[in-house]
C-alpha cells in the first residue's frame, strides 16, 4: 500500500478532540503503560518521593521495570511494606512533606507478572541455586 492511503488528521483536529473528550486544557496520548508512568512521574513528581508497596515493583511494557522508570523520571522511590503484604499503616508512616504521590499498580498487572526467573539466571551465571 502506498503512503497516500494513510492520511493522518491535522494535529489541530486531534487536539480539539482530546480536549473535548477529556475536558482538560491539554493532553498527551502515549501507546503503553511504561511511557504513561514515566511521563506522569517526570511531570508531577520529579525531585520528590513517590510511595509504592514493595510487592508492586513489577516489570511493565515487556521489559521496563518500575525501578528503572523511577530512575529515568527523577522521582525518588520510597518502598513500603513487604513483598507479600503492605498495610495502610505502612503508607501512613511514609507520608511526609517530600511525598508527591502514592503509586498503586493495577492488580491484573501484578498477577500477570508474578513469575521468577532466578533459576535460569543463576544457572547461566554459574551460581548455585
pLDDT digits (tens, 9 = 90+) for 17-63: 777 877 888 777 788 888 889 999 999 999 999 999 998 888 876 67
| Residue 108 resides in a domain | yes
Domain assignment present for 87 = yes
Question: Is there a domain that residue 5 lies in?
Answer: no
> What digits encode the pLDDT tens for the residues 72-93?
999 999 999 998 899 999 999 9
> pLDDT tens across 104-125, in order?
887 665 554 455 555 555 555 5
DSSP H helical segments within the chain, as ranges?
Answer: 11-22, 33-45, 66-73, 88-94, 107-112, 118-124
Q: What is the domain-level CATH number for residue 103?
A: 3.40.640.10
With contact defined as beta carbons under 8 Å apart, do 51 and 103 qualify? yes
Q: In what order do the strands lie in the sheet with 76-80?
A: 76-80, 49-53, 99-102
Q: Is residue 122 part of a domain?
A: no
Domain hosting residue 33, numbered range: 13-19+26-114
Looking at residue 13, what is its pLDDT? 58
Whether 7 maps to a domain, the answer reads no
Asked if the structure places residue 34 within a domain, the reply is yes
3-class state of residue 72 by DSSP: helix
Cβ partners under 8 Å of residue 107, min gap 6: none
Residue 66 included in any domain? yes
> In this predicted structure, what is the pLDDT of residue 56?
87
Confidence (pLDDT) at 45: 96
Question: How high is the pLDDT of residue 87?
Answer: 93
- For the chain, how many structural domains are there in total? 1
Q: Is residue 120 part of a domain?
A: no
Phi, psi (rounded to 5 degrees) for 115: -140, 160
Q: Is 51 helix (H, G, I), strand (E, B) or coil?
A: strand
Amino acid at each position: 500500500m502506498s503512503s497516500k492511503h494513510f492520511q493522518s488528521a491535522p494535529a489541530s483536529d486531534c487536539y480539539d478532540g482530546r480536549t473535548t473528550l477529556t475536558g482538560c486544557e491539554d493532553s498527551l496520548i502515549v501507546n503503553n503503560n511504561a511511557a504513561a508512568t514515566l511521563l506522569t512521574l517526570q511531570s508531577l513528581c520529579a525531585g520528590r518521593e513517590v510511595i509504592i508497596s514493595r510487592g508492586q515493583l513489577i516489570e511493565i511494557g515487556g521489559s521496563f521495570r518500575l525501578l528503572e522508570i523511577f530512575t529515568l523520571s527523577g522521582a525518588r522511590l520510597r518502598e513500603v511494606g513487604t513483598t507479600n503484604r503492605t498495610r495502610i499503616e505502612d503508607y501512613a508512616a511514609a507520608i511526609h512533606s517530600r511525598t508527591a504521590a502514592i503509586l498503586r499498580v493495577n492488580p491484573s498487572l501484578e498477577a500477570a507478572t508474578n513469575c521468577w526467573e532466578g533459576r535460569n539466571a543463576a544457572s547461566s551465571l554459574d551460581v548455585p541455586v
